[in-house]
A and B are shown apart, each in its own frame.
Chain A
Amino acid sequence: MVTPSESNAAELMSAALDEQLAPEEEEAFAAMLAASPEAREEFEQLQDMLKLVKGLPEVEAPPDFFEKVAKKIRRRKLMRGETFLLVSLPFQVLSVMIVLAIAVTYMMLQLERDPASKLVRDAATPSDGVSEPAGDEDAPDKPRDETVTRPPAE
């Protein structure tokens, strides 16, 4: 009788457990079990264990599984789209946009710093008692608020 090699024995054992033995292998496997009580015991134990493994409950994906996948796809597409938009703009257009942005920022800063233009703006703004300069309070010719300074008429 030919004793199967270790790897052969493993292959036979797998095939037997899966009921995939070829007719010519069945004889070799039966002979292997007959010759080795350890192999028989191992085979029986593996059979028992596989019953348990195959008896594990079936599982189902969550009901909103597709929605989650679709959401991820949309999010990644959007991310790719934004990148694509930036890269795909012509270089000249990007340059003009950057120069314009710098120019606008510079002009706004200059307006803030220029005292003449600040005065013009202040003059153009109507007095509301809050923005009035503090020095004007003591000016002698400036009319006072009549509701406060004048006595009531008799």
Chain B
Amino acid sequence: MKRLKEGDERAFQELVTTYQNRIFSLTLRFMGNREEAEDLAQEVFLTVFRAIGSYRGEGRFYTWLYRIASNTCKNRLKYLKGRQHHRSIDIEDSPQAQLPSEEGGARQSLQSQIPGPEAVVRGNRLQRAIQEEIAQLDAEHRLLIVLRDIQGLSYHDIIRITGLAEGTLKSRLHRARLALKKRMDRHMR
């Protein structure tokens, strides 16, 4: 952290490579658009680079980083909605998503967990549907789903990131899951 605050580029590179997958995953699942997600993830690290001097070392570093990432995502979404420009592409259909992990694509697919060709087709279809439907939720709901259900962060960390009280987090998370379930119902039948 000391090296980072002194502007050491190598230290910054280490930070980026340590967290880039998690931040990219967050922005991708949040936005549902690979190009937008990559640009957004870059912006997150640019903000970190500029603001690292103001990081006081309270709490875990990655909750500070995630707070920046969450705010960046929400602000971008607001901006895009303002411009009525938001479009979501089917990220799992994009060529990069189909590449092996070394090439920056999918690492572990849902289809690998479901045996049989019919189940594979259904698994693929549901994956696409989930991503599409997550990207249709409102910003707060999709953030909670991504942080808790996709990234697997603990309640404690999500509270530090979002500033919500524990009870509020649990009830909002429940509403977010219900909203997603409602949207997913037509795909699950």
Contact surface of A with B, Cβ cutoff 8 Å: 7, 10-11, 13-15, 17-18, 20, 42, 45-46, 48-50, 52-63, 65-66, 68-70, 72-73, 76
Contacts and interface: CB of A to CB of B under 8 A. Distances in A.
Contact of A60 (B24, B180, B181): B24
Counting contact residues on chain B (CB < 8 A from A), the size range is 35 or more
A45 B101 CA distance: 31
B20 interface: yes
Contact of A69 (B16, B29, B105, B155): B16
A56 B110 contact: yes
The A interface is mostly helix, strand or loop, or mixed, namely helix
B171 A7 contact: yes
Given A11-B171, A69-B45, A46 B177 contact: yes
Given A49-B177, A60-B21, A14 B105 contact: no
Contact of B149 (A53, A60, A70): A53
Contacts of B46: 69, 72-73, 76
Given A20-B155, A53-B145, A73-B46, A59 B28 contact: yes
Given A7-B171, A57-B97, A59-B24, A66 B17 contact: yes
Interface string B68-100: 000000000000000000000000100011000
Given A10-B170, A54-B150, A59-B28, 12 more contacts: A11-B167, A50-B177, A54-B149, A56-B127, A58-B25, A58-B101, A60-B24, A62-B38, A62-B104, A66-B17, A68-B38, A76-B46
A60 B25 CA distance: 7
Interface in B100-137: 101, 103-110, 113, 123, 126-127, 130-131, 134
5 contacts: A18-B148, A45-B181, A60-B21, A60-B25, A65-B38
A19 to B, nearest CB: 11
B92 A57 contact: yes
B88 to A, nearest CB: 15
Given A7-B171, A10-B174, A73-B46, A59 B97 contact: yes
Contact of A61 (B21, B148, B170, B171): B21
A44 to B, nearest CB: 11
Nearest to B145: A53
A49 B180 contact: yes
A50 B104 contact: no
Given A14-B173, A57-B110, A59-B28, A52 B130 contact: yes
Nearest to A55: B110
A66 to B, nearest CB: 5
Nearest to A57: B106
A63 B180 CA distance: 32
Given A7-B171, A11-B167, A61 B104 contact: yes
A107 to B, nearest CB: 47
A143 B23 CA distance: 87
